Amino acid sequence: MSVKWTSVILLIQLSFCFSSGNCGKVLVWAAEYSHWMNIKTILDELIQRGHEVTVLASSASILFDPNNSSALKIEIYPTSLTKTELENFIMQQIKRWSDLPKDTFWLYFSQVQEIMSIFGDITRKFCKDVVSNKKFMKKVQESRFDVIFADAIFPCSELLAELFNIPFVYSLSFSPGYTFEKHSGGFIFPPSYVPVVMSELTDQMTFMERVKNMI
């Protein structure tokens, strides 16, 4: 789905979140690099339409600067991970993605699982750091946001939405097999004709390709 249509869907959903015609308050749980580029296009449109947008970012964040003068607000939560450690981790994973073997499906699949497992450890740490910070959570809750907008590849928005009792919207579906989207966000998809991300399949699959898509 294009960014344009994603933005349209988000704006429609936001219209149902607000009890009046006034502009709303959007809390953003965003990832770094290309994922941020994708979500920022939508956020810029929301700001232009008068909505108040606040991004939650860790102290290890590479891209988010709370001192940057823009209409986008940044709330920083502390984490023990440093900027250098986070950047090194991301660069290592990008290299591993580019070096993944294409000839053997099972080897490719096992290495993808390993990468996602390491990534899961990092995201769980960030989630724990923000949720266990009672002072920070109280500050965010008192801001009374109307909706959480998040990148599905960076889990925790679902838990935050539940804790703050507000709806959440994904900017895209990305994780292999839609694992995060299914188990965290309740995302439903029929694998018989919806190919999972990075499977290199289309919506026109043979029987064996559907089996592969299920696996």
Q: Is residue 112 part of a domain?
A: yes
CATH of the domain at 136: 3.40.50
pLDDT of residue 102: 65
Q: Which residues contact 72 (CB under 8 A, 6 or more apart)?
A: 43, 47, 53, 54, 55
Domain count, the chain: 1
Q: Is residue 198 part of a domain?
A: no
Average pLDDT over residues 4-31: 65
Q: What is the pTM of this model?
A: 0.69
Q: What is the domain extent for residue 66?
A: 3-172
Q: Judge whether 136 and 77 are in contact, CB under 8 Å.
A: yes
pLDDT confidence band for 155 (50 / 70 / 90): confident
Q: Is residue 191 part of a domain?
A: no
Q: Distance (Å, rounded) from C-alpha 102 to C-alpha 108?
A: 7
106's tokens: 């099972």
Q: Which residues contact 69 (CB under 8 A, 6 or more apart)?
A: none
Q: Is residue 87 part of a domain?
A: yes
Higher pLDDT, 192 or 169: 169
Q: Is residue 211 part of a domain?
A: no
pLDDT confidence band for 129 (50 / 70 / 90): very high
What tens digit of pLDDT does each residue of 22-49 get? 678 999 998 887 778 778 888 888 998 8
Q: Is residue 213 part of a domain?
A: no
Q: Is residue 182 part of a domain?
A: no
Report the 3 state secondary structure along the chain: CCHHHHHHHHHHHHHHHCCCCCCCEEEEECCCCHHHHHHHHHHHHHHHCCCEEEEEEECCCCCCCCCCCCCCEEEEECCCCCHHHHHHHHHHHHHHHHCCCCCCHHHHHHHHHHHHHHHHHHHHHHHHHHHCCHHHHHHHHHCCCCEEEECCCCCCHHHHHHHHCCCEEECCCCCHHHHHHHHHHCCCCCCCCCCCCCCCCCCCCCHHHHHHHHC
